[in-house]
Amino acid sequence: MKVTPEIANRIDAWVDAHQEEYLDDLAKLIARPSRAPEGHFEGPYPFGEECAAALDEAAEIARGYGFSAEIRDYYCLVLGLGEGAEKVGILGHLDIVPASGEWHYPPFALTRRADDVLVGRGVLDDKGPLWASVFAARCLKELDLLPGRELEFFCGSDEECGMEDLAYYKKTSKELPVVAFTPDGGYPLCHGEKGIMDFTLDIPAEGSNIVEFVGGVAHNVVPDHAELVLSGVKAEDVEACFAGSEWVTVAQEGENVRITSGGIAMHASTPEGGVSAIKNIADGLKGSPALNAAAERAIAYVSQSLADYYGESIGVPYADGPSGKLTHVAGMVETEDGLIRLHVNIRYPVTCDGDEVAGKIKAVAERSGVGFTMVRDSKPIYISAESDLVRVCMSTIDDVFHRDWQPYTMGGGTYARMMKNAYALGPEDPDFASPFGVAGGGAHQPDECVPLDLMLKTMKVYARLFLELDDALLGLCGLGI
């Protein structure tokens, strides 16, 4: 169905009139601290009770709108609206990253500031945008404008830690959507995603005077907290290593010294501006007489491997035209069985081969006696910016935002990479300046925030798009991808 000016005006008026209901329902979802675990649990709740509770909450709210709601063994929630021989999919998630760092507002309460900026863990990634897409469909239902294809909303619980939820959805679905988008990127539209690789580097530290080295809360976030404990040294001998540092403190604990560092958390796909707490400690201690020989070798390797964010220090300084430079982040560190284990996340360009990238990293690590273990390699996706689907989506976005935007590729990983004919569309505004500066307001940062006006415009985009896709995808003849 083509969106006429009259239809567009009806959509916009409905959205504006129902914003308080959106905020009330979003607040219920934000109140759920639904952090997905690494891996999954045995028993009825594979991603934990809080993720399960978030699915229950969302199902209850959506049923109240008139949606069908099916919880699939607490891997995911599937909402449905409308009828049709084919489906259009919307792929969002209700799991969140930890609410680490220093917050000015409570992370699990939806705060609406005086400037109409919403704050809370998940307002941007991804509870707020997912529910904006649900609200857009509700809008069409109540205006009697439902499209000719069924709208199917996948609400996941494991996007941040492995996407087992989407794999389960695909396995348990008789029929998958013919086209899908995820409201989990940035405006305008992402037509390519870099490969995402997770691996560990096991650095020998047997016989060192490092008692413990821990830091980070997620593999895909620049760590904003780390601690290292040294034995047999005095605090004054270590303090000199960090003279003038704004990030590091040193404290005596009996015969040991504890070194604690802060930092600035940034998502691994865009680490620029981040400050790694792990790197702060390693850089300061490198070459220090407070380290014995085994500790010095281990710390020197940690420091060297984190010397940049673009792969050069681990042997893979790759880049391409469509997607730019490879990035790498050591999001977590731990000590175990005489080893310092770095958990590393990289985003490699869309034209690169993941096996080649992994082989090069492994070879470089092994030359230093460091072990390499692959955890996962999610291959890149890339669809032409000239495809008909991109064209329709860009026209719809422009109708609401009137910005000079172009489709892009990114280092972030979304559900789109696991589905056919799938894109990330919105909702982050690339021009929005966080009121919390570079250290806060982002998707994985303290005080995660989003302007209310952006969410309302996003609803208007999605409502239009549901109708425009009906006209554009008849028989899928015009996909052009």
Each residue's pLDDT expressed in tens, for the chain with a length of 481 residues: 899 999 999 999 999 999 999 999 999 999 999 998 877 888 999 999 999 999 999 999 999 999 999 999 999 999 999 999 899 999 999 999 999 999 999 999 999 999 999 999 999 999 999 999 999 999 999 999 999 999 999 999 999 988 999 999 999 999 999 999 999 999 999 999 999 999 999 999 999 999 999 999 999 999 999 999 999 999 999 999 999 999 999 999 999 999 999 999 998 999 999 999 999 999 999 999 999 999 999 999 999 999 999 999 999 999 998 899 999 999 999 999 999 999 999 999 999 999 999 999 999 999 999 999 999 999 998 888 888 889 999 999 999 999 999 999 988 878 999 998 899 999 999 999 999 998 899 999 999 999 999 999 999 999 999 999 987 765 443 444 3
Q: What angle do CA 163, 122, 140 make, to 5 degrees?
A: 90
CB atoms within 10 A of CB 405: 17
Residues 6+ apart with CB under 8 A from 312: none
> For residue 223, what pLDDT is reported?
97
Residues 6+ apart with CB under 8 A from 337: none
> For residue 39, what pLDDT is reported?
76
Kindly report the pTM of this predicted structure. 0.75
Gap between the Cα atoms of 341 and 152, Å rounded: 41
Gap between the Cα atoms of 3 and 468, Å rounded: 7
Coil/strand/helix, residue 393: helix
CA atoms within 13 A on the CB side of 5: 0
**283: exposed, middle or buried (Cβ count in 10 Å: 0-12, 13-18, 19+):** buried
CA atoms within 13 A on the CB side of 197: 28
Question: Which secondary-structure segment (H or E) carries 324?
Answer: strand 324-325
Asked if 407 contacts 434 with a C-beta cutoff of 8 angstroms, the reply is: no
- Which amino acid does the sequence have at 398? D
Backbone torsions φ then ψ of 29, nearest 5 degrees:
-75, -40
Residues 6+ apart with CB under 8 A from 104: 119, 436, 440, 446, 447
> For residue 156, what pLDDT is reported?
98
Helices (H) and strands (E) in the chain, counts: 11, 24
- Which amino acid does the sequence have at 112? R
Gap between the Cα atoms of 183 and 179, Å rounded: 14
Sign of CA dihedral 457, 462, 467, 473: positive
Gap between the Cα atoms of 37 and 165, Å rounded: 12
Question: Which contacts (CB < 8 Å, 24+ apart) does range 211-215 have?
Answer: 211/256, 211/335, 212/335, 213/281, 213/333, 213/334, 213/335, 213/340, 214/333, 214/334, 214/335, 215/261, 215/277, 215/278, 215/281, 215/332, 215/333
Asked if 353 contacts 359 with a C-beta cutoff of 8 angstroms, the reply is: no
